[in-house]
Amino acid sequence: MADLSVILVNYNGRRFLEPCLESLINENRLIPLEIIFVDNASTDGSAEFVKRYFSDVTVIRNKKNAGFSRANNRGFAYSGADLILFLNTDTVVEPGALKKMVDWMNTHPDTGALGPVLYGSDDRYQVSFGGRRTFVSELLEKTLLNTARRKKIARMARTRKSRRKKTPRVIRSKKTVWLSGAALLVRRDAFVEAGGFDENYFLYFEDIDVCYRIGQEGWKVKVLPRVRIYHEGGASTAALSLRSRYYYRQSQLYFYRKYNSRLSSLLLRQYLRLNLVLLSLKGAWRGSRGKKIKEDFHRLLRERK
């Protein structure tokens, strides 16, 4: 019986798969894992690659790109462990990270969701947890808080390096409201009680949403600042910059309608209208594809559902 189920959702991320899966196989020597790979109708041979070179991985193929939430929920339905890690395919797990996270969950039964700190391949801190999301808090986070958080995490990393030869420190946690879905460890009971990922999200904000609901069910949501996973970022959206921007705003608007005040939603809509004007001035809507996405943006801003 696996101690941890790892669910990977993939869309044309073939070039990231080998380092990601190799890092998981290395972790399997420390803790029994089952790995479930859900492919969202990739056209780059991703599923075939995994089946050929990683035969112990369970491969599930969707006939079309079902989006992040739906694909993860499908992977969850195949999982068997009490702890489930939703992990992006463009990640590499630092040796021992998963065992530390599982050990934490096993000794803290009131924690429903747990995350590491994410770092880019350039060793720079990425935003991977935070507080409640409103228009004002997002504005402050992007202009001030993220910079301060990066500096704090960098100091902690330097401290960690200076103490490596000494007795290992007790792993401490930090309370948070949400965690990044790039590396999100959940307790099965908490995830089920929260209702799983909301499948109205195609991409983006589904991680914040499910963490909100896990917290609302009375579970704690924690981050382990001294546990890290490396995350490239944008594996599924790199070639779809305008379309991925559309998915982000679509999910953001839905999230605001679901959780925030009418004023916060109104401010967001006004900001997005201004943003569309600026994109037009930059010539972002070139070609038939660009014009189609522009039309979709305007249609999105007219929706009130």
In the chain, residues under CATH classification 3.90.550.10 are 4-231
Confidence of residue 236 (pLDDT cuts 50, 70, 90): low
The dotted CATH code for 4-231 is 3.90.550.10
pLDDT confidence of residue 296: 92
Q: What is the pLDDT of residue 216?
A: 98
Q: What is the 3-state secondary structure (H, E, C) of the chain?
A: CCCEEEEEEECCCHHHHHHHHHHHHHHCCCCCEEEEEEEECCCCCHHHHHHHHCCCCEEEEECCCCCHHHHHHHHHHHCCCCEEEEEECCEEECCCHHHHHHHHHHHCCCEEEEEEEEECCCCCECCCEECCCCHHHHHHHHHHHHHHHHHHHHHHHHHHHHCCCCCCCCCCCEECCEECCCEEEEEHHHHHHHCCCCCCCCCCCHHHHHHHHHHHCCCEEEEEEEEEEEECCCCCCCCCHHHHHHHHHHHHHHHHHHHCCHHHHHHHHHHHHHHHHHHHHCCCCCHHHHHHHHHHHHHHHHCCC
pLDDT in tens, 137-176: 887 877 665 566 566 655 655 555 555 444 445 578 999 9
pTM here? Answer: 0.90
pLDDT in tens, 262-294: 999 999 999 999 999 998 888 888 888 888 999
